[in-house]
Amino acid sequence: MKIVSSSRADKTLQVFYPVALVLYTIALMTGCVTPEPTAAQSSIGDPGYHLGPEDVVMISVWKDENLTREAIVRPDGMVSFPLIGDVPAMGRTVEDVRQDIAKRLARFIPNPHVSVAITKLQSYKVYVMGRVNKPGEYLVGHYTDVLQALSLAGGLTPFASENDIKIIRRENGDQRVFLFRYGDVQKGRELNQNILLERGDVVMVP
C-alpha cells in the first residue's frame, strides 16, 4: 500500500482562500449552488471520457435498423454486438469503440457507417464513508474533487477527525492511499490535496 502526500501550495493564497472556501462549501451544502466543472474538471460526457462498467452506449449502423441497439458495458469491460460478438469498451473512448466496431463489421458489411454515443453515464461512482452526515455511494455527472464529494455527503460530523481523511484508490489490484487534511485546506494550505476523484475512489473520514 502506497501513501501519497502533497507538496506545500502557493502561500499567496493563504489569506484569501479560507473565506472563499468556507462560503463555497456552505453554498454547496445548502443547495445554493451546484458544482460546475472547470476546464480541468470537464463533463464526463466529453469526447475524451473513458467508458466504465455499467455505462450504456447506443451503437447504430447507418441504414440498418437491425444493427442499432443499446449496449451496456459489462463488469468484464466488454459490450456485445451482433455479427462481431464482444468488443472491449472499458477504458476506451466512444471513438475508439466506434472505430473498432467498424473495422470488425467490415468483414460482413462493405464500408459500414457506425456511430457510438453514450446514453447513460453510470460508472462514475465515488464512495464517502465514515463520519459524514450522509455516507454512501454517489453517482455523479461530472468530475468531482474531494471537497465536492464531502459536500455531497453533507459535510463532516462534529466528531470527525478532519485532518486524518484518506482517499483509497485501487489500481491494477493494488491500493493507493492519498492523505487529505481538511483543516489545512480550509486555511489555504496544501491545496493540491484536493485531488480529482476517479471512479471507485473511497473517501474515508475517521
CATH code of the domain occupying 56-120? 3.30.1950.10
Domain at 2-41+124-205, CATH class: alpha beta
User: Is residue 85 pLDDT above 80, yes or no?
Assistant: yes
pLDDT of amino acid 26: 47
Structure-model confidence comparison of residues 5 and 118, the more confident one: 118
pLDDT tens per residue, range 130-166:
999 999 999 987 889 999 999 999 999 999 999 999 9
pLDDT of amino acid 4: 52
Amino acid identity at 176? R
pLDDT of amino acid 90: 95
CA distances to 44, 47, 134, 138, 171 from 99, rounded to whole Å, are 20, 14, 42, 32, 27
> What percentage of residues in the chain have a pLDDT greater than 70?
77
Cα distance between residue 201 and residue 128, in whole Å:
9
Q: Where does CATH 3.30.1950.10 sit in the chain? A: 56-120
pLDDT of amino acid 49: 87
Tell me what the pLDDT averaged over the chain comes to: 83
